[in-house]
Amino acid sequence: MSADQLRHVLDLARLRRVPTGKPVFEEGEDASHFFLLLDGHLSVERLNTEGDKVISLHIPPGQLFGLDRALGRDTYPASAYAAVECIVLIWPMSLWDDFSTQYEGFASEAYKVVDQRVSEMNNRIMELATQHVEQKVASAVLRLMEQHGRNTDTGVQIAFRVTRKIISEMTGSTLHTVSRLLSRWERQRILRSAHRHIHVLDPVRLENLTRESAADQR
Tens of pLDDT along 90-118? 999 989 888 888 887 777 777 787 777 77
In the structure, what pLDDT confidence band is assigned to residue 56 with cuts at 50, 70 and 90? confident
Calculate the average pLDDT of the chain: 85
Examine the pLDDT at 53 and tell me if it is beyond 70: yes
Which pLDDT score is estimated for 213? 47
Residue 164 DSSP SS3: helix
Say which residues have a Cβ less than 8 Å from residue 14's Cβ, sequence separation at least 6. Answer: 89, 90, 91
Distance in angstroms (rounded) separating the CA atoms of residues 165 and 178: 8
Q: Is the distance from CB of 110 to CB of 67 less than 8 angstroms?
A: yes
Examine the pLDDT at 34 and tell me if it is beyond 90: yes
Range with top average pLDDT, 8-12, 185-189, 211-215: 185-189
Q: What is the dihedral of CA 1, 43, 127, 31, to 10 degrees?
A: -60
Examine the pLDDT at 52 and tell me if it is beyond 80: no
Task: Tell me the C-alpha to C-alpha distance, in Å, between residue 164 and each of 25, 148, 161, 167.
Answer: 24, 17, 10, 5
Distance in angstroms (rounded) separating the CA atoms of residues 135 and 127: 8
Task: Tell me the C-alpha to C-alpha distance, in Å, between residue 135 and each of 62, 84, 125, 203.
Answer: 29, 27, 13, 14
Distance in angstroms (rounded) separating the CA atoms of residues 187 and 91: 47
Examine the pLDDT at 71 and tell me if it is beyond 90: no
